[in-house]
Chains A and B, each alone.
Chain A
Amino acid sequence: GAVVSQHPSRVICKSGTSVKIECRSLDFQATTMFWYRQFPKQSLMLMATSNEGSKATYEQGVEKDKFLINHASLTLSTLTVTSAHPEDSSFYICGYYEDGYTFGSGTRLTVV
């Protein structure tokens, strides 16, 4: 079945720096991808969906200038958290839709 590789699995960064999270599809080409954020003991909240080669569609309340999503190829999508702050500390999960929903293993971001 489809496999999504997400990394890093854990990252600690200083407040004010930017962090990039990568999401790769290993055995298929995905035209649609999605990013979720999960705060401790809370549900997964959809941040945005994107199509390869076009701009991401952000959910209401998600700052597009802060969470930069790039879907430049059919096998790679990236989420960059710019000028990270402690309140951005969360679990971020990516995935692709292609005959089903496939998720990466998630990235635990801690901003100190």
Chain B
Amino acid sequence: GEDVEQSLFLSVREGDSSVINCTYTDSSSTYLYWYKQEPGAGLQLLTYIFSNMDMKQDQRLTVLLNKKDKHLSLRIADTQTGDSAIYFCADPNQAGTALIFGKGTTLSVSS
């Protein structure tokens, strides 16, 4: 079945860049997504990328997509303590009716 894999933890200092990586198995998806979840909270859509794009930049966020390798990354520039959260990579299921989430990367930002 479809699978999405992520590294589980990332620790950075405030002001540094953070890069969160993700690999997926379903190559037919039109879009790929990044969500943020703060402790005890729901999901916040951070950004998404269309499958025919290699890169998308949105303020401090840069998404890179390597379709050949089925690799997606999220770069957060000038990481702040408020960026501490769990970040999920998500890929639509084959029917497109729901998302398959990675295990989530816990980003810890120290000042």
Contacts and interface: CB of A to CB of B under 8 A. Distances in A.
Given A43-B88, A44-B88, A97 B96 contact: yes
Interface stretch (B49-57, B60-68, B73-81, B97-105): B97-105
Interface in A59-91: none
- Interface of B, secondary structure class, is loop
B4 to A, nearest CB: 9
A106 B97 CA distance: 19
B68 to A, nearest CB: 26
Interface string B68-111: 00000000000000000000101011011111111110000000
A49 B41 contact: no
A110 interface: no
A42 to B, nearest CB: 7
A34 B98 contact: yes
Contact of B103 (A34, A43, A46, A104): A43
Contacts of B95: 49
B88 A104 contact: no
Main secondary structure of the interface of A (DSSP, over half): strand
Contact of B97 (A42, A44, A97, A104): A97
B103 A42 contact: yes
A106 to B, nearest CB: 4
A93 interface: yes
Contacts of B102: 43
A103 B42 contact: yes
A98 to B, nearest CB: 10
7 contacts: A32-B97, A42-B103, A43-B101, A49-B95, A101-B98, A105-B41, A106-B41
